[in-house]
Amino acid sequence: MTHDGEWDRRSLLRGAAVLTGAAVAAPLLGGAATALADTGDADALFKAGRFEQAGRAYEQILKNDPTNLHAARRRGLVALLANKFPEAEKYLTMALKLAPSDKDTNQLLGDCYTRQDKLALAVPCWRAAGEEAYATWFAAVQGEAYQIHGDIAQLKWLRLDPSPLVEASVNGGPAKRFMFYTGFPYLGLSSKTANEAGLTAVYSQEIDFMDGKMWMHFGVLQSFTLGGIELRNIPVEWSESDTVSLDEHDHDGMIGTWVFHHFLTTFDYAGRWLILRRKTPENIAKARADANRAGVEPLPLWLGREGAAVHSRGSIDGSGPRVVGVNFGGTGEIAAGMAEETAKQLRIRIDYDRPIQTFAHSHPADVYPCYPKEIRLGVAVAKDAYSYANKRRSITNPLGFDALGHIPHSFFKPYTITLDFTDMNLYIARGTAT
């Protein structure tokens, strides 16, 4: 999201369905942020992605100055990134008492409640943050959202490229073809599918999209079935564009991170399976034990603004461990995307003779092929892989921390990835799921 809260989030929502997602923040490599981090400066620690240390530093600031709004809000954000909801609520509530009308605090607290399906509590926060779409949408959800029926869904991918597809049923209807993408927040439908399901919009808004306009509609879906699991009472969005219609594509909607974080989610790229399991202590312990047997160490897992952007820790060309975006599903042929400045600082070869004109967050973007010698995420490695350098990306993302780049769809093809949204661990191993 941009600082004005407008096009960046909203255009991402549907732009993600048809684009490669080349727009990702880049790091300030080896610069002032890293140097300052060693001094214990809280903001520098946060900027460098050293979140636990930053959290302790903000706590110390608050001990000395309990009225420090910035420290309270940032301490709440540190907890929210790791889905530590009691801590996030504690510090964001503290910040809200210091400044009840602060939009940033209200937005973060609204996000915190939304991730826990406490939508009634989220509504006033989103409204105070100026997000009337979310406020009206969530107010229309009566009773418990995301009710889960069933224990496991094992969905064979219909294809791998240009984007993985799985089958799902909307309101008990015939099977539909759905993309999935962890860079997209919620469940999205094509306008055709929404009309067939008899959905009524509780809120609509028009936004800029690519070279034209798009209407986004928000409603509540009664039932969404994925294999052996049915979700009931789900917030859902559908869109109509005067330039690009999702109905013209070969899929009927998009499954985003808000669905996946309700489960222990496995993206088995090697075997081409999507596996959803309930987040029970037994299932989580089994995932950890399976990883231990395979010699796989857990990687950290963080969720960015509005619970959509998935991050972990990886490296590119000797950068050392840094925060990276990790995008499962979606489209694209690249193994990594980064800002031009990042590629230059890492001395990665950029092919300026072959610019690629695309859209990122549904706005025009010029990117250039680049060829990092090594991209690494845990035990997963890609050598001399085709990637993108984006000329227009800023160094720091809107939440205030640096990210090395993003690792998308194509990188993961030899691997299986499990996301544990309870203990916030990412497990990646070569080969298919056991």
Task: Give 153's strand partners.
Answer: 276
Query: What tokens were used for 140?
Result: 């229309």
Question: What local confidence, expressed as pLDDT, does residue 406 receive?
Answer: 94
pLDDT at 361: 57
Instruction: Answer whether 316's CB lies under 8 Å from 336's CB.
Output: yes
For domain 294-430, give the CATH number: 2.40.70.10
Q: What is the 3-state secondary structure (H, E, C) of the chain?
A: CCCCCCHHHHHHHHHHHHCCCCCCCCCCCCCHHHHHHCCCCHHHHHHCCCHHHHHHHHHHHHHHCCCCHHHHHHHHHHHHHCCCHHHHHHHHHHHHHHCCCCHHHHHHHHHHHHHCCCHHHHHHHHHHCCCHHHHHHHHCCCCCCCEEECCEEEEECCECCCCCEEEEEECCCCEEEEEEECCCCCEEEEHHHHHHCCCCCCEEEEEEECCEEEEEEEEEEEEEEECCEEEEEEEEEEEEECCCCHHHCCCCEEECHHHHCCCEEEEECCCCEEEEECCCHHHHHHHHHHHHHCCCCCEECEECHHHCCEEEEEEECCCCCEEEEECCECCCCCCCEEEHHHHHHCCCCECCCCCEEEEECCEEEEEEEECCCEEEECCEEEECCCEEEECCCCCECCCCCECCCEECHHHHCCEEEEEECCCCEEEEEECCCC
Give the pLDDT score at 393: 76
Q: Where are the domain boundaries for CATH 2.40.70.10 in the chain? A: 147-265, 294-430
Lowest mean pLDDT among 41-45, 384-388, 389-393: 389-393
pLDDT of residue 301 exceeding 50: yes
**Mean local confidence (pLDDT), 45-66:** 96
CATH homologous superfamily of 31-139 = Tetratricopeptide repeat domain (1.25.40.10)
At 331 the pLDDT is 86
Q: What is the pLDDT of residue 39?
A: 40
- CATH 1.25.40.10 residue window(s) in the chain: 31-139
Residue 24 has pLDDT above 60, yes or no: no
Q: What whole-number distance in Å separates Cα of residue 155 and Cα of residue 171?
A: 18
Least confident of 19-23, 214-218, 302-306: 19-23
- pLDDT band at residue 391 using 50, 70 and 90 as cut-offs: confident
Query: How much of the chain exceeds pLDDT 90, in percent?
Result: 76
- For residues 44-70, b (16+ Cβ closer than 10 Å) or e, as one string? bbbbbbbbebbbebbeebbeeeeebbe
What is the predicted pLDDT for the residue at 246?
45
Rounded Cα distance, 22 and 358, in Å: 9
Judged against a pLDDT cut of 60, whether residue 33 lies above it is answered with: no
Surface-to-core class of residue 171, CB atoms within 10 Å of its CB (0-12 exposed, 13-18 middle, 19+ buried): middle
Q: What is the mean pLDDT of the chain?
A: 87
Mean pLDDT of 206-216: 77
pLDDT of 35 above 50: no
Distance from C-alpha of 366 to C-alpha of 359, rounded to nearest angstrom: 8
Least confident of 82-96, 234-248, 261-275: 234-248
AA identity, residue 27: P
The answer, yes or no, to whether residue 31 has pLDDT greater than 70, is: no
Nearest C-alpha neighbor of 265 from the set 280, 250, 256, 277: 277
pLDDT of residue 360: 62
> What was the pLDDT predicted at 211?
66
- pLDDT(411) > 70: yes
State the pLDDT at residue 398: 86
Please say if the pLDDT value at position 237 is more than 90. Answer: yes
CATH code of the domain occupying 147-265: 2.40.70.10
pLDDT at position 241, please? Answer: 67
Looking at the predicted structure, is the pLDDT value of residue 107 above 60? yes
Higher pLDDT, 338 or 32: 338
pLDDT above 90 (res 263): yes
**Among 122-131, 132-141, 199-208, 322-331, which stretch is predicted with the lowest mean pLDDT?**
199-208
Distance of CA 189 to CAs 45, 115, 247, 249, Å? 40, 21, 9, 12
- Please report how the helices 103-115 and 132-139 are oriented relative to each other, as an axis angle in degrees rounded to 10: 30
For residue 40, what pLDDT is reported? Answer: 57
List Cβ neighbours of 238 (8 Å cut-off, separation of 6 or more): 188, 189, 190, 191, 193, 194, 199, 216, 217, 219, 253
Q: Is the dihedral of CA 285, 275, 141, 138 positive or negative?
A: positive
User: Going edge to edge, which strands form the sheet with 299-300?
Assistant: 152-156, 273-277, 264-268, 415-420, 425-430, 299-300
pLDDT for residue 179 is more than 80? yes
Is 18 a residue whose pLDDT tops 90? no
**For the residues 148-154, what does the mean pLDDT come to?**
97
As a whole number, mean pLDDT of residues 189-205 equals 94
Residue 65 confidence (pLDDT):
95
Other CB atoms within a 10 A radius of the CB of residue 85 amount to 15
Examine the pLDDT at 26 and tell me if it is beyond 70. no
Residue 63 is which amino acid?
K
In this predicted structure, which of 7-16, 40-49, 84-93 has the lowest mean pLDDT? 7-16
Mean pLDDT lowest among 90-94, 114-118, 125-129, 248-252: 248-252
Separation of alpha carbons 172 and 293, rounded Å: 40
pTM recorded for the entire structure: 0.89
pLDDT at site 362: 55
